[in-house]
Structure 1
């Protein structure tokens, strides 16, 4: 083996000694061919890269165009998606409260007094209006944290800017957003906060309304009583709202609406509230009843919660409901009638009881008719 290797290296050495020019020429030719092929490879790679980039740009452009075509382009009030209200009823279907007010009759800015028009035009910045309107136009989108949603938001904003005049955008501002999260449209906000329609407000009042925070979706977190809110059985409703805010936030903020049918009886509520008011006029303060709760213990339902002042706090009511296993909700549906909650009705005979709240304690009283 060693001899063979020695002979091989001797042959190579002899070739180098006797044929140096031929070997050098061969080596040079090999290098030249390699350079040529490398050039072809680099050229092919560059061409493939250009084609790939072109295809990618064409695909992205097509996808963006397709996305642009399917995004809404709202021009009028009716082009925006519908949001459904939140209504609370008594057991007989009588409306007790509307925590979320929906705009059903759009306000035209040209119908407002000139000074109010001027105030709104001066105070409202278009750049503030468009993002909220675009967000509302896409309120039915499910995945709001994706790149696709953000691109659609930009495209809807672009369409609003291109397709609508400043006056039209101001009209959208008057009708579409939720003021304080609960009143859709400035007219509803004026009714809730000032007890008058927008067409009747003064210039300072219009200035006040333009400073209210706006949002694209309703929010039960913002529900607060105002002096002009029409709310029957206020204490019971306020306690009920605290539970609705936690359990049905997605249905409310998604605009699906909420119809809440309570166990309360408005007629009984009015009778007991009147009784408390009359009693407070003639009795000594230490002897006055500060609250009366009527319940049907067989069905575990609260029929009325009458009170004077703020004696029946949320904490007291929550403890009272829990200790006596009571509820004030019969059923809950969304605006489409889909059931979200249904109380199982009892077949037992009614067992009516009054709980009189006096001096910080509940006193049970049987035999209520």
Structure 2
């Protein structure tokens, strides 16, 4: 039986062009290789799962490649590339600073730097989670980092840049990695699903991308989980929300329709159904505020691109936004936001949310009365 390889490893990018959502980083690194402007030390910082260590490995492989392509990518065929793929390269050294954070560990590293590579141009030292080094280890590293031998390149990676001492920061070329956009993660998941011959619903992939919060590795882990749950055949939206225990956005459409129709009973019954399914009232409250925000975004074509949902869902949002006035959405969003702030201190949290729904159900009438009073006042003037 063949061993299963998780998608995060199986589809890990092997060249700059396959890195997802970090074009500003990959373009700069390729230009540095092209123009022979490589710094002696790089600091890759950003949230988890966005490609810091992956880009460090690609850079290490590419600068030692013997037959780089015309667009300055590694050839993946020379001896250097093959040894890198087999994890047997003597020119690339990886250190996990989380478990090797003492002065002695850094001294051992400095001792290794003294020896020039027997084959290839550069010796690359990748230090992951570099913020975990002790202050003494940082200080022991300073001189080598500032004036390394011409064949040595250091690539430091961290999720917590603020924990690195300024003297280290000043010696590095700093690259800030962004959270990966939902659209980019969704496209990558589509690519993997097609490669693995898995049928999918686009809304399910977009939900996974949203849940990952900008981390591609998290998205791939969730993707593997849902594929396993669905027996590897088809990835559906319903199975995804059931497995991740996410409240279906269909409930927010129903609640908003009830509020616009000023039906307190319908809104309370939908909320009761949500609680009976085991969902947290606070999550519902936060989701409702987000729903009002999405409806506001649909009001203006200029902000429509801020709505990161599938085309079918986008149409539903546009249709419902036409039913709700801007005054209703602004007031409802403000009220939901205040309810969110005071939720934790409420003694009866269910009643707290129900009271908000009752107020929101009376909001259309209140807005109409206010508009009528304003018109009457204008007539008198």
TM > 0.5 fold call: no
Q: TM-score, normalised by structure 2?
A: 0.25
Q: TM-score, normalised by structure 1?
A: 0.26
The structure richer in strand per residue is: 1
The structure richer in helix per residue is: 2
- Which of the two has higher C-alpha Rg? 1
